[in-house]
Every structure is written in structure tokens, then in C-alpha cells.
Amino acid sequence: MKSLIKSLLFVIILMPIASFPDTIAEGKKLTFDRKKGNCLACHMIEDGELAGNNGPPLLAMKARFPDREILFQQIWDPTEKDPYSFMPPFGKHGALTRNEINKIIDYLYTL
């Protein structure tokens, strides 16, 4: 019973988020958040302060990554392409969910 209430609560809490229109703003937040993507640690990004410089700047993303799947894979698990990659395998290691990565990509496509 308790767990039923819990899962109902869960659904209710998640519902408004899932249908929230502004995934781009959320994606930006996930991209910048130190506990989430923290992409700024390594990449220069428009409006980002104190950006790191050991990854390439994230710009002109639509032009450079017309195939969304390739961009997804880079964030999900860059070690697939290069086992020594310095970039963390965010999806594979559970640091970001599929859903979170998709929001990040929606944001990256505005850059």
C-alpha cells in the first residue's frame, strides 16, 4: 500500500516535468550544473563562465552534428570511439539518464 502511494506520488511529481515545454532551458541547466553534466569543466560554451579547455568548444552544433544519434553516442559513451577519451561516459556510467542527455542535446542544438 505504502509503495503504491509512493509510486502514485512519483507519477504525479514526474508528470508536470515530462510535459514541461521548455526542455531547452532544462537542458542548459543540466549542461552547466556541476553535479550533472558539468560540461563547462572541459568545454567552452556560450554564456558559460570559467570554462575549461581540454575539450573542443561546443558551438555550431547543428552544422557539425547533423546526425543526432552521433551526438547522443558521444555523450552516452565517448570511450566507444576512443577508449582513452578524457570525457566521462555519462550515460553508460549512469551519471545522466537518457532523458537528461536528450534535453542536453536539445540545448546544444541551439548553439
Helix/strand/coil (H/E/C) assignment for every residue in the chain = CHHHHHHHHHHHHHHHHHCCCCHHHHHHHHHHCCCCCCHHHCCCCCCCCCCCCCCCCCCCHHHHCCCHHHHHHHHHCHHHCCCCCCCCCCCCCCCCCHHHHHHHHHHHCCC
Stretch touching other proteins by CB under 8 A, among 13-21, 59-67, 89-97, 98-106 = 89-97
Residue 6 or 57: which CB sits closer to ligand HEC? 57
Identify which of residues 27 and 78 has a Cβ nearer to other proteins in the complex: 78
Answer whether 30's CB lies under 8 Å from 100's CB: yes
75 binds ligand HEC (CB under 6 A): yes
With CB under 6 A as the contact rule, which of the stretches 9-17, 19-27, 71-79 interacts with ligand HEC?
71-79
| Residue 41 contacts ligand HEC per CB under 6 A | yes
- Residue 38 as a binder of ligand HEC (CB under 6 A): the answer is yes
Site pattern 1..30 for ligand HEC (x: CB under 6 A) = ------------------------------
